[in-house]
A and B are shown apart, each in its own frame.
Chain A
Amino acid sequence: EVVLTQSPATLSLSPGERATLSCRASQSISIFLAWYRQKPGQAPRLLISDASNRATGIPARFSGSGSGTDFTLTISSLEPEDFAIYYCQQRSTWPFLTFGGGTKVEIK
């Protein structure tokens, strides 16, 4: 099973600041990685697919990078709606999916 480790667990930032979130895989997963944002009481929303492709309707302030075992989600300038929990997810081991433990982006 591929284990995804997200860091940090919590990121305390102010609106307008840049956020950098990490996701590390226990083995190479090529670019089979997605990122989600989840607000309280809602289902996750897809932000990034294939490690770096923004999903339809996702603003340009979100960008993804990486391949193999190390991946990064960057939010260039935090908006109020971006204070939420972010998850990475891999499907290298199709159809067995796994999710990371999440990073909470909170207001400083």
Chain B
Amino acid sequence: QVTLRESGPALVKPTQTLTLTCTFSGFSLSTNGMCVSWIRQPPGKALEWLALIDWDDDKYYNTSLKTRLTISRDTSENQVVLTMTNMDPVDTATYFCARIDLHTVGIHYWGQGALVTVSS
């Protein structure tokens, strides 16, 4: 059974760095074709893809946010970490992690999401 769970602070101040952890089970990120992505959704708005890390430890970022994002993995702990620097109130959103399979167009497995509010 595949599960993913996001964890991190619910509130951050402007200019601070956000660190979110995705803890997953039921698959290995070392398996060919397996990837984990971060996707966010501001309240009442659409989904936005942020970053992806693949089975080969290659990393990819949304071009408009690339300078602020870092994605990394701890394969032994089955965790993927996303850091986003210089947080702003417009970054207030629910942050989802999801498992992505290279061989499948759609995303079958999502975490439940973590709401992060940016406010002083």
A: residues with CB less than 8 A from B are: 1, 31-36, 42-44, 46, 48-51, 55-56, 87, 89, 91, 94-102
B57 CB-CB contact with A under 8 Å: no
Asked whether, in the complex, the Cβ of B47 is within 8 Å of the Cβ of A87, the reply is yes
8 contacts between A and B (CB under 8 A): A32-B105, A34-B107, A44-B107, A44-B110, A95-B52, A95-B60, A99-B48, A102-B46
Asked whether, in the complex, the Cβ of A43 is within 8 Å of the Cβ of B105, the reply is no
Contact partner of A100 among B46, B96, B111, CB < 8 A? B46
9 closest A-B pairs by beta carbon, nearest first, are A34-B106, A49-B106, A43-B110, A99-B47, A97-B49, A46-B106, A49-B105, A95-B60, A95-B52
Contact with A along B1-41 (1 / 0, CB 8 A): 00000000000000000000000000000000001010100
What's the least CB distance linking B59 to chain A, in Å?
Answer: 9
Asked whether, in the complex, the Cβ of B106 is within 8 Å of the Cβ of A99, the reply is no
Nearest chain B residue, comparing its CB with the CB of A30: B105
Apart from A34-B105, A44-B110, A96-B62, what are 17 other A-B pairs with CB-CB below 8 Å? A32-B105, A43-B96, A43-B110, A43-B111, A44-B107, A46-B106, A49-B104, A49-B106, A55-B108, A56-B108, A87-B46, A89-B107, A95-B35, A95-B54, A96-B49, A96-B60, A99-B49
Asked whether, in the complex, the Cβ of B106 is within 8 Å of the Cβ of A89, the reply is yes
Asked whether, in the complex, the Cβ of B47 is within 8 Å of the Cβ of A44, the reply is yes
Chain A residues near B104 (CB, 8 Å)?
49
Q: What separation, in Å, do the CA atoms of A48 and B96 have in the docked complex? A: 20
